[in-house]
Amino acid sequence: MEPPEDRAADEKAASSPPDTVGTPASGAAGTAPADTGGADGAAGTEEAADELGGISRLSVPSRIVVALAVAAVTVGAAVHLAMVFLHVAPTNTVSQKYARTIGDYVYPEFEQNWKLFAPNPLQENSDVQARAEVRKPDGTTATTGWVDLTAMDIARILHNPIPSHTEQNELRRAWSFYTDTHDDQNRSNGLRGDLAQSYVLRIVAHRFGPHLNGGDVQRIQVRSATTAVGAPPWSTEKIDTRTYYRTLPWWAVSPEDFA
């Protein structure tokens, strides 16, 4: 009689398919997954290299251009943030020393205006209007009618999904700059009065151009038309909604104002 261990081994061998060989098959089966895993690992390494080493594949001139572009953006962002910070920060030694440089950079494009959140928000509409004195070829002069420059800007902004910053703020902020630096008699109350006047004059001159109505523009006059916003229908508040004008003196123009 055979020992139990030998009999069990013979039965197992007899039950196996004729073409199955235990040890080699197991070895082959074990080798195949290992080879596949190696291929997948190599592919993953190559993908990671593609993602992380894109810049390393660039030529030396291209790398220099990318580095310079990144540096320029970084420096520009830092300068912009510094200028705006000094503009809105409490008065300090640096902001006082470089006040003119900061003002020239911030106004009018980057001015920070918080009137929307003030205790008393603006409750009036103010239009800037202008007219011109024109000299005709025969030597006579004529005065144009008042042109509502603010209404022209509003017409450009209306239904425009991406209006320009100039159309939205240039004229409005220029007029606010003028009124902040002049009293009710149009006398300058600070060092920036002349700058504010020149700024408004140049904006209006560029809107009219050097030639108008068949003649040459000689002088320009500006005024504001201010109308308070009426109370809503359900309110009992009484508000004067008449239009009030502030008319400035005539300003002579020169060829440099149209440049």
| In the chain, % of residues over pLDDT 90 | 51
At 46, which helix (H) or strand (E)? helix 22-52
Share the mean pLDDT of the chain.
82
Residue 196 scores a pLDDT above 90: yes
When mean pLDDT is compared over 10-19, 90-99, 164-173, 214-223, the highest value belongs to 214-223
Tell me: do 96 and 148 sit in the same domain: no
Give the confidence band of 146 by pLDDT, cuts at 50, 70, 90.
Answer: very high
Number of structural domains, the chain? 2
More confident residue, 117 or 80: 80
d(CA 150, CA 171): 7
Tell me: do 227 and 159 sit in the same domain: yes
Residue 7 scores a pLDDT above 80: no
Tell me: do 140 and 199 sit in the same domain: yes
Tell me: do 172 and 87 sit in the same domain: no
Mean pLDDT computed over 181-208: 93
Tell me: do 131 and 250 sit in the same domain: yes
Tell me: do 160 and 79 sit in the same domain: no
Residue 41 lies inside a defined structural domain of this protein = no
Residue 210 scores a pLDDT above 70: yes
pLDDT in tens, 9-35: 555 555 555 454 444 444 444 444 445
What is residue 80's three-state secondary structure?
helix
Mean pLDDT computed over 181-201: 92
What's the confidence (pLDDT) of residue 40? 55
When mean pLDDT is compared over 32-46, 117-131, 144-158, the highest value belongs to 144-158
Tell me: do 84 and 169 sit in the same domain: no
d(CA 24, CA 45): 32
Tell me: do 146 and 226 sit in the same domain: yes
What's the confidence (pLDDT) of residue 30? 45
Tell me: do 242 and 136 sit in the same domain: yes
Tell me: do 196 and 232 sit in the same domain: yes
Residue 169 scores a pLDDT above 50: yes
Residue 50 lies inside a defined structural domain of this protein = no
Domain that holds residue 244: 122-258
Residue 32 lies inside a defined structural domain of this protein = no
- On the CB side of 52, CA atoms within 13 Å amount to 6
pLDDT in tens, 232-253: 889 888 899 999 999 999 999 9
pLDDT in tens, 33-49: 445 445 555 555 555 55
Strands 147-148 and 211-212: unpaired
Q: Is this model's pTM higher than 0.75 or not?
A: no
Mean pLDDT computed over 139-166: 93
* Domain end call among 75, 104, 133: 104
Tell me: do 174 and 240 sit in the same domain: yes
Tell me: do 250 and 212 sit in the same domain: yes
Read out DSSP for 198-231?
Answer: HHHHHHHHHHH-SEETTEEEEEEEEEEEEEEPPP
Give the confidence band of 207 by pLDDT, cuts at 50, 70, 90.
Answer: very high
What's the confidence (pLDDT) of residue 117? 61
Q: How many CB atoms lie within 10 A of CB 144?
A: 17
